[in-house]
Amino acid sequence: MGPAVNIEERDAFYDRLVEAVERGEWTWGEAIRRLRKDVAGMNQKTFAKVTKVSERSLRQLEKDEGNPTVATLNAVLKPFGLKLGFLRNS
């Protein structure tokens, strides 16, 4: 990962990210953009190469445009040890 972030800081960032998405404060696109920039420290072009996702798809994803597949979302989350999960409300 890019910037010098220790494991505790990274995990705390992940927790804040999930909470912000759940509360509707951040969209998925915003969350992915923050992961790319703040955790990985990469520009879109480099991150697209690393994740094997097209720059166009990544750009659309970060702008909450288009209709990304689960595979695309998991590809951009994988470098962070994350993946989409499905939860059932009780």
- pLDDT at res. 1: 43
Q: What pTM was estimated for this model as a whole?
A: 0.80
Q: Which amino acid is it at 11?
A: D
Is 7's pLDDT higher than 90? no
The pLDDT confidence band at residue 4, using thresholds 50, 70 and 90, is low
For residue 47, give every residue at least 6 positions away whose Cβ sits within 8 Å of its Cβ, in sequence order, or none.
Answer: 36, 40, 58, 76
pLDDT band with cut points at 50, 70 and 90 for residue 9? confident
Where along the chain do its domains lie?
A: 7-80
14-65 tens-digit pLDDT = 888 889 988 999 998 999 999 999 889 999 999 999 999 999 999 999 999 9
Domain 7-80 has CATH 1.10.260: yes
Residue 85 confidence (pLDDT): 73
Q: Between vectors from CA 40 to CA 35 and to CA 46, what angle results, nearest 5°?
A: 105
Read off the amino acid at residue 88. Answer: R
